Structure 1
Amino acid sequence: GANGPSGFDCSGLMQWAWAQAGVSLPRTSQAQRYAGRMVPLSEARPGDLVAYRADASHIAMYVGNGQVIHAPYPGAPVRYDPVGMMPVSSVTRV
């Protein structure tokens, strides 16, 4: 997968974004899901990682107001979407 800054996959974007704040995250969405403390979706705060599907095959960053930012699929631009765009499996506070 791509890890930017000219192109990203979902976990590469999360790794790059947190690196800008001096925080090292693992490379895969499955590992990123465990890179902090799990919190309920109802308590999500900007910066929290939102993992999707039971296998954490997709990950995004909560930005507030019910929105996430993510790299949706290969070749697509990074974009904002509703947090509930897919089944949420966990929320992680880094």
Structure 2
Amino acid sequence: MTAQIHVPSLLSRAGAVSALTLAAVGGTMLAPGAVPQAEAAAATHATKALNVAASKKGSPYAYGAAGPSRFDCSGLTLYSYKKAGKTLPRTAQQQYNKTRHISTSQRQKGDLVFFHSGGRVYHVGLYAGDNKIWHSPKSGSVVKLDRIWSKSVYYGRVR
């Protein structure tokens, strides 16, 4: 059950700009902290993991590496979520198998983006919003922010 605050009770305390904003949201809004605890915790872990991945910008790719200074793709996601307090398996396929699968419309910052071909997951990164991911792409490259270049992707939420 979600707690709601009705706009009329807030208008007496809201300024003119705030009143217009509140009216635009359709009459009710969620009270701070009203998000179910499990969702809030997942969002917190995802945000932390995303920030960790972004902090590794420029770290070189190394096959089989899982940090703290070199990464392969699944090593970066494993390391980022470990620092955020969550445990993931080692490979991209195993990580896909462990996450809660979600649709493109449900994706949020910090969710994992899995690239696949022929039913096999071959690459993973962290969703950064605006159709971009933080990832460690390949030998000779570094951890970086890139646009999602394929439509052959799955999304997963770390539980």
So what's the TM-score if we normalise by structure 2? 0.56
Give the AA of the match of 1:20. Answer: K
- Equivalent pairs counted in the alignment come to 93
Structure having the higher strand fraction is 1
CA distance in 1: counterparts of 2:124 and 2:99, whole angstroms: 14
2:121 to 56, 76, 80: 56
Quote the sequence identity (%).
38
Give the AA of the match of 2:145. Answer: Y
* RMSD over equivalenced CA pairs, Å: 1.1
So what's the TM-score if we normalise by structure 1? 0.91
Equivalent position SS for 1:56: strand
- Compare 56-65 and 34-43 and name the one that shifted more: 34-43
User: Quick check: 1:53–1:86 contact (8 Å CA) kept in 2?
Assistant: no
CA distance in 1: counterparts of 2:153 and 2:130, whole angstroms: 19
- Can you give the 5+ residue segments of structure 2 that lack an aligned partner in the other structure? 1-63
What's 1:70 paired with?
135
1:23 to 83, 86, 90: 86
CA distance in 2: counterparts of 1:72 and 1:92, whole angstroms: 18
CA distance in 1: counterparts of 2:121 and 2:147, whole angstroms: 17
Does 1:46 find its partner at 2:116? no
CA distance in 2: counterparts of 1:21 and 1:9, whole angstroms: 18
Structure having the higher helix fraction is 2
Does 1:89 find its partner at 2:153? yes
- Detail structure 1 runs of 4+ shifted over 6 Å in the superposition: none
Q: Which has the higher contact order (CA 8 A, sep 6+)?
A: 1
Equivalent position SS for 1:33: helix
Give the AA of the match of 2:78. Answer: Q
